[in-house]
Structure 1
C-alpha cells in the first residue's frame, strides 16, 4: 500500500498557517508530511517563503503522530552541512523520532542569496556529495574534522544526538544523482514518476529502500477556478528540473512560463473534485515503484476545504484505488 503524504508548501502560506494546516492533516489521517525549504517562492503570485526549520520546530510541538520531513533541503550553499546536521538532529529530538531529512543539490532560486555564483551541475553534485558525507559522519557521533575540496569542518560534534538516527533521503533526477543516492541515502526522493530513476537507485545500492514522490493537485468544486489557480501559481512545475534549478528569481520564472496556457497546466495537474483524476496521478508513481507519495494542494487559502475533502473523499479513494 502506497503511503499518502501532505505537503506544507512554504511558498504559498505563512508560518502560522502552515502549522495549523499540518495539525489538521494529522487529524484527517495523512500518513506523513513534507515541507519545502525555500528562500523565494517560485512565482510572486504564491506570495510566501518563511524559514522552513522554524515551521518544522513548531509543527513538531503542535503534532504528535504525523512524520515530518524536508522536501528538500540543500546542504551545500545557503546552509553549511554541519549546521544542517545539527538542525536535523534537533528536529528528530523535538519530534520524538518522527523526522526525516530530505536533501538535494539545490536550485539557484534559493541558494544564490549565499552562494555568490551558481556552478554547473557536475560541480554541484560534487559539492553535494561531500556535504552529505559530512552530515552522515556527524550522525555517527563523536568529533568530525574534515578538510575537503569544498568544505572545512574543525572538530564538529552534535552534542544533542537522538537515539534514533535521522533517516537521510536524496532527491534525484538523473544518473549522477541516482548514483549518489544509491550509495549514501536511506530513501529516494523524486518529483517525476520515472521507473528508470527507481531502477538506477536500486542498481547503486538502494534496493528495498523507500521511494518518495510528490504530486501537485488543485482541488476545487469549481474546476475552472482550480485550473486558473493552478496556472497562476504552479505553471513553473512543467519546466522540468534542468530549467527550475537554474533560474535565480521569481521574475525569471514569470518570463520562462509566459507562454504556458491554463490547459497546458490542467493536462498535467489534476484539477477539480473528481477523485479519479487524483488517484490516477498517484497511481503513476505507484506503478513506477514509489512507496510513498506526498500531495501538494495548490493555493494556501484553500487548505481547509482540501483537507475536509481529503478526509471524506480523497483518502478513501486513494486507499481503495491503489
Structure 2
C-alpha cells in the first residue's frame, strides 16, 4: 500500500509551529514525515528558514510513532559530511530508530552562504558521492582518515552510535544520480513521478528499495484563496530542478517567476478541498512505482484545518490507491 507522508516545510513556518504541526500529523494518521533543510525560503512571502536539525530533535521528543526524515540535506558545502554523520547518528538515537537521512546535491539558494562559490552540476555530484562514502563509514563505526578530491577528514569517529544506522536516501534527477543512489542508498528520493528515474535506480541496484516522492497541494475551503496562496508562496515550483538549483536568493526566484500566473499554478498544484483532485495528482507516483509520497500543504498558517481534512477525508481516499 502506498504510504502517505507529511512535510514539515521549514520555509513556511517557525520552529515551534513546525513541531506542533508534525505532532498533529502523527495524530491525524500520516505514515511518515519529511523535513526540508534550508537557509533561505524560496520566496520572501514564505517567510521562514529555521535550523532543520534543531526542529528534528524537538520533533523526535514530541512524537512517538511517526518516522522523521531530511528531504533533503546537502552534505557538501554548508555542512561538512563528518558533521552530517554525527547529526544523523544523534537523530537516530533521539528518535529511537525513526530517522532516515535524505541527502542531495543541494541548491545555490542555501549553500552559497559559506562564500565558497557554487560548483557545476557534475562537480556537485562528485562531491555528494565522496560525502556519502564518508558518512557511511562513520555511521558504520569506523575511525575515518580521508583525504579526497573535495573533503579531508582527520581521525574522525562517532562516539554515540545507534544499534542500526539510519537508512540513507539520495535525491535523483537523472542517470548519474540514479546510478549513485542505486549503488549507495537505501531509498530513492524524487520530486517528480518520472518512471525513468525508478527504472534507472532499479537498474543500478535499487530493486526492492523504497522510493519516496513529494507533491505540493493547497487545501482551503475557498478554492480561489487556495490558488492565490499557492501562487504567492509556491510558484517557484514551476522552475524545475535545473533552474531551482542555481538561483541564489528569494529575489532571484521572484524575478524568474514574475510571469507565472495563478491559473498556471492551479493547473499543476491541486487547490481547494477536492479530495479526488489530490488522489489524481498522487496516482502517477503510484503508477511509476513510488512506494511513499510526502504531501506539502502550502501555507504555514493553514496546517490545522488541513490536518483535520486529511484525517477525515484525504487519507482514507488515498489509502485506496
TM range (shorter): over 0.9
Per-residue CA deviation, residues 92-141 of structure 1 (Å, 9 max, x unaligned), is 00000000000000000000001521111011111110001000011111
Whole-angstrom distance in 1 between the partners of 2:233 and 2:79 = 27
Are residue 169 (structure 1) and residue 169 (structure 2) matched? yes
Give the 3-state SS of the residue equivalent to 1:214 in structure 2. Answer: strand
Whole-angstrom distance in 1 between the partners of 2:16 and 2:78 = 24
1:52 is matched with which residue?
52
1:24 is matched with which residue?
24
Whole-angstrom distance in 1 between the partners of 2:115 and 2:8 = 25
Give the 3-state SS of the residue equivalent to 1:277 in structure 2. Answer: helix
Q: Say whether the 8 Å CA contact 1:78–1:115 is kept in structure 2.
A: no
Give the 3-state SS of the residue equivalent to 1:102 in structure 2. Answer: strand
Q: Say whether the 8 Å CA contact 1:43–1:253 is kept in structure 2.
A: yes
Aligned-pair CA distance for 1:176? 1.1
Q: Say whether the 8 Å CA contact 1:77–1:115 is kept in structure 2.
A: no
2:199 is matched with which residue?
199
2:218 is matched with which residue?
218
Q: Say whether the 8 Å CA contact 1:187–1:210 is kept in structure 2.
A: yes
Whole-angstrom distance in 2 between the partners of 1:16 and 1:45 = 19
Whole-angstrom distance in 1 between the partners of 2:55 and 2:265 = 29
2:134 is matched with which residue?
134
Q: Say whether the 8 Å CA contact 1:6–1:33 is kept in structure 2.
A: yes
Whole-angstrom distance in 2 between the partners of 1:299 and 1:162 = 35
Whole-angstrom distance in 1 between the partners of 2:162 and 2:57 = 15
Give the 3-state SS of the residue equivalent to 1:93 in structure 2. Answer: helix
Whole-angstrom distance in 1 between the partners of 2:87 and 2:61 = 15
Are residue 279 (structure 1) and residue 314 (structure 2) matched? no
**Number of residue equivalences:** 321
Residues 119-130 of structure 1 aligned to structure 2 (within 5 Å): 119-130=119-130
Give the 3-state SS of the residue equivalent to 1:117 in structure 2. Answer: coil
1:258 is matched with which residue?
258
Q: Say whether the 8 Å CA contact 1:39–1:50 is kept in structure 2.
A: yes
Aligned-pair CA distance for 1:142? 2.6
Are residue 209 (structure 1) and residue 203 (structure 2) matched? no
Whole-angstrom distance in 2 between the partners of 1:45 and 1:280 = 28
Aligned-pair CA distance for 1:165? 1.5
Give the 3-state SS of the residue equivalent to 2:77 in structure 1. Answer: coil
1:33 is matched with which residue?
33
Aligned-pair CA distance for 1:26? 0.3
Whole-angstrom distance in 1 between the partners of 2:71 and 2:264 = 25
Instruction: Could you tell me which runs of 5 or more consecutive residues in structure 1 were left unpaired when the two chains were aligned.
Output: none
1:303 is matched with which residue?
303
Give the 3-state SS of the residue equivalent to 1:130 in structure 2. Answer: helix
Residues 60-71 of structure 1 aligned to structure 2 (within 5 Å): 60-71=60-71
Are residue 236 (structure 1) and residue 252 (structure 2) matched? no
Per-residue CA deviation, residues 155-211 of structure 1 (Å, 9 max, x unaligned), is 101100000111000000111111111111000000000000000000111111000
Instruction: Could you tell me which runs of 5 or more consecutive residues in structure 2 were left unpaired when the two chains were aligned.
Output: none
Whole-angstrom distance in 2 between the partners of 1:94 and 1:296 = 25
* Superposition CA RMSD, Å: 0.5
Per-residue CA deviation, residues 5-33 of structure 1 (Å, 9 max, x unaligned), is 00000000000000000001000100000
Whole-angstrom distance in 2 between the partners of 1:259 and 1:115 = 31
Give the 3-state SS of the residue equivalent to 1:203 in structure 2. Answer: helix
Whole-angstrom distance in 1 between the partners of 2:183 and 2:146 = 20
Whole-angstrom distance in 1 between the partners of 2:80 and 2:282 = 34
Normalized against structure 1, the TM-score is what?
0.99
